[in-house]
Amino acid sequence: MGYAVILAGGLGRRLRPLTSDRPKPMVEVAGKPIVEWQIMWLKKYGIRTFIVLTGYLKEKIIDYLGSGSRLGVNITYVVEDVPLGTGGAIKNAEGILKKIDRFIVINGDIITNIDVNILLNSLTDKYLASIALVPLKSPYGVVKVDEEGNVRSFLEKPLIKDYLINAGVYVMRPEILNYLPVKGDIEKTTFPTLASKGLLRGVIFENVYWRSIDTLKDLEEVSKDIEDGVVKF
């Protein structure tokens, strides 16, 4: 049985007023909270045990998800009393995670259909963590011109495959806990350290759906993608 950790303690300031009365993972996309879509996605790959790391307005997410039985999964909660950052939040769950051979970690604000089994299988004995990478999607349309300045084509928000971004989906071994800060973000602390030691693997996913819900525009576009069947769970 697989294990997944959901980072659900963020304030979601850029999505206010929607996050004034709920944590960001509880913001609805196409009629369901982000966190529910995430559980549905990971269930498809055999994940049945979830550890939800909460903080801001924790009761909202706990009341909604409960034990997880309604969704066919098991859910445990670890609460941070003050914001600890992504690295600190995972470190705060050390009592549970140190007993698990390997576990998935995801940011609580993404919608994706990445095959996490590929990521799980990439974590060989050489590494302490594998991270999913996706091509950067331009936030703007791109115009192509020829040498004479003639406009030849318009591309609507293309993928820029020369640049990869962190997809916020990871697989980790418990030994990574020794590298985590008590307070701080894993992207700024642990990952650079692991990379310098050759202990961090990156796995590129090109033909997948991936969006981070950071703005109201993201919310509208992802909701439409789900309703139109662009991404399926």
In sequence order, the 6+-apart residues with CB closer than 8 A to the CB of 2 are: 42, 45, 46, 47, 48, 49, 103, 104, 120
The end-to-end CA distance of the chain, in Å, is: 20
DSSP state, 187?
T
In sequence order, the 6+-apart residues with CB closer than 8 A to the CB of 63 are: none
Q: Which of 98, 137, 144, 157 is catalytic?
A: 157
In a domain, 223, yes or no: yes
In which domain, by residue range, is 99 found? 2-131+163-227
Tell me the pLDDT tens digit for each residue of 59-95: 999 999 999 999 999 999 999 999 999 999 999 999 9
The answer to whether the CB of 170 falls within 8 A of the CB of 132 is yes
Model-level pTM?
0.90
Tens-level pLDDT at each residue, the chain (233 residues)? 589 999 998 777 777 877 788 899 999 999 999 999 999 999 999 999 999 999 988 999 999 999 999 999 999 999 999 999 999 999 999 999 999 999 999 999 999 999 999 999 999 999 999 999 999 887 788 888 888 777 888 888 877 777 899 999 999 999 999 999 999 999 999 999 999 999 999 999 998 999 999 888 889 999 999 998 888 77
How many C-beta neighbours within 10 Å does residue 198 have?
9
In a domain, 154, yes or no: no
In a domain, 195, yes or no: yes
In a domain, 146, yes or no: no
In a domain, 139, yes or no: no
Number of domains making up the chain: 1
In a domain, 33, yes or no: yes
Q: Is 232 part of the annotated catalytic residue set?
A: no
| Angstrom distance (rounded) from CA 193 to CA 185 | 12
Tell me the pLDDT tens digit for each residue of 97-109: 999 999 999 999 9
In a domain, 172, yes or no: yes
In a domain, 186, yes or no: yes
* CATH code at position 167: 3.90.550.10
